[in-house]
Each structure stands twice: as structure tokens, then as C-alpha cells.
Structure 1
Amino acid sequence: MAATIMIVDDSPTMLMSIEGILTKAGMIVVKSENGERALDALKSGTKPALLITDLNMGAMNGIELIRHVRKLPGLQFTPILMLTTESQQDKRNEAKSAGATGWIVKPVDATALVKVIRQLVPGA
């Protein structure tokens, strides 16, 4: 069965781009345009094999989203990738301490993204 990947990004273009890459690689994609919607979906039973979140979003940024996700039952060990234009080490450290599994800097290379996901989610 195909792996379900959740993408959280406030940019419709980025959501569409990442969805295209992952769908082409045979994965199922669930999209959310902000942290609040993603959290609602997760609380309602969406169980992705992996979550990809942007860092800079509106009311809830990616680091805050990760902190909330890590408190949800069954999602404490779900791999979470931070996808962002930011490359500062302090932001990376903050994301890691919040529970991020990895960090990918935009613009993302399609092949590299799929490779990272397949390393984190065997069978994806």
C-alpha cells in the first residue's frame, strides 16, 4: 500500500509542486494550507507515514506545529521534515528540539526529496 504523506505549507504553489513530486513517486498526499488545519486533520484521525511542514506560516509556524504533533497519540515517532527557505543553524536546532526529524531547504530537488522520504518511510 502507498504511503500517505502530509504536506503543510501556506503557499498553494509549493503544495501543488510537492504534491506533484510525491504523487508521481506513487505516494498518497494529504495537504493543509496552515498548521491549524493540519492539526485538526491529525486530531480527526489522519495518520500520515511522514509529515512535511513549512517553517514560516501564519498563525502557527512549523516549529509550533511539530510541538503539537509530538503530543498527539500515535504521532510521537512519525518522521517530520521541515521544508523552508531558512538555513540558519539556530532555527534548525529549534526545529530539532521541537521534534523535527530532518530539514530540507527550498527550492527542493524532487529526486532528493523522494530519496529522503524513502529512507524515513521504507516502502514509500
Structure 2
Amino acid sequence: MALRCMIVDDSPRFLAAARGLLERGGLLVVAEATNSADAIRYAVEVGPDVTLVDINLGEQSGFDVVRRLTREGTVATATVILLSTHAEEDYADLITASPAAGFLPKTRLSAGAIREVLGLPA
């Protein structure tokens, strides 16, 4: 059974590219959200196995979105992965303090990298 994924990012171009990349890698993208309200709604509606959240969501903080998703029990903490075009070191303290399972730079995004962060077999 394919891992069901939701992507939260404010860039339609990135959403389309990420969907294609992840689906070619065997993941099923069940939802795309561009803001926190949609992320919460879609998480409740589709119950993704993993949620990818961009740290920089325009005027919103991806860290806030992750806290809302996990605090409200919408998604399990262990299934949220933060994404960014910036290096992990740029946000190291915030990533560590976040309830997310881990971090992936957008340049490393792949189905295999997601499985690795979640501790699943490739």
C-alpha cells in the first residue's frame, strides 16, 4: 500500500513538481494545501500518512502550521516533515524545538528520503 502524502507549500509550481516526483517514487499525494486553514481541513478530510510542510509559507510560518496540526491532533507528530530551500543549519534550533519528525531540504526531496526520515524501508 502506498504511503499517502499531503504537501503544504505556497508555490503552485513547487506543488506540481513535488507531486510528480513523489508519485513517480511510489507515494500517493492525496492533498495539496497552500495555507494553514487548508492544511488543517485536508488533514482531517483525507488523513495523510505523512505531511510535508514548507517552513516559509508566504506570510505564514510552517512551524506554526506544524504546531497547529499536531496540537489539534489532526496529524501525528511522527508524520510531519519540514521542507525548505534553506539549509537545515539556518533553522536548526527551530527545527529541533518543532514537533515535526524531521527536516528535508527541497533539493533532497524524494520518496526515499521521506521513508528514511520516517524510519521506513526504502
Sort the TM-score into its range (normalised by shorter chain). Answer: 0.7 to 0.9
Instruction: Tell me the C-alpha RMSD between the 2 structures.
Output: 2.2
2:96 counterpart residue number: 96
Whether the 8 Å contact between 1:54 and 1:62 is mirrored in structure 2 is yes
Q: TM-score, normalised by structure 1?
A: 0.81
- Larger relative helix fraction: 2
1:17-28 matches, within 5 Å, as 17-28=17-28
Gaps of 5+ in 1: none
Paired letter, 2:64: E
Deviation, structure 1 residue 88 = 5.8
**Is the alpha carbon distance of 1:19 and 1:121 closer, same or farther for their aligned partners in structure 2, counting shifts above 3 Å?**
farther
Percent identity between the two aligned chains: 27
Q: When the two structures are aligned, how many residues end up with a matched partner?
A: 120
- The reply on whether 1:73 has 2:70 as its aligned counterpart is no
Larger mean CA deviation between 59-68 and 70-79 belongs to: 70-79
Distance 2:83 2:14 in 1: 10
Distance 1:93 1:100 in 2: 13
2:39 counterpart residue number: 38
Distance 2:111 2:97 in 1: 24
1:117 counterpart residue number: 114
Q: Secondary structure at the match of 1:10?
A: coil
Larger mean CA deviation between 90-99 and 6-15 belongs to: 90-99
Deviation, structure 1 residue 98 = 2.1
2:52 counterpart residue number: 52
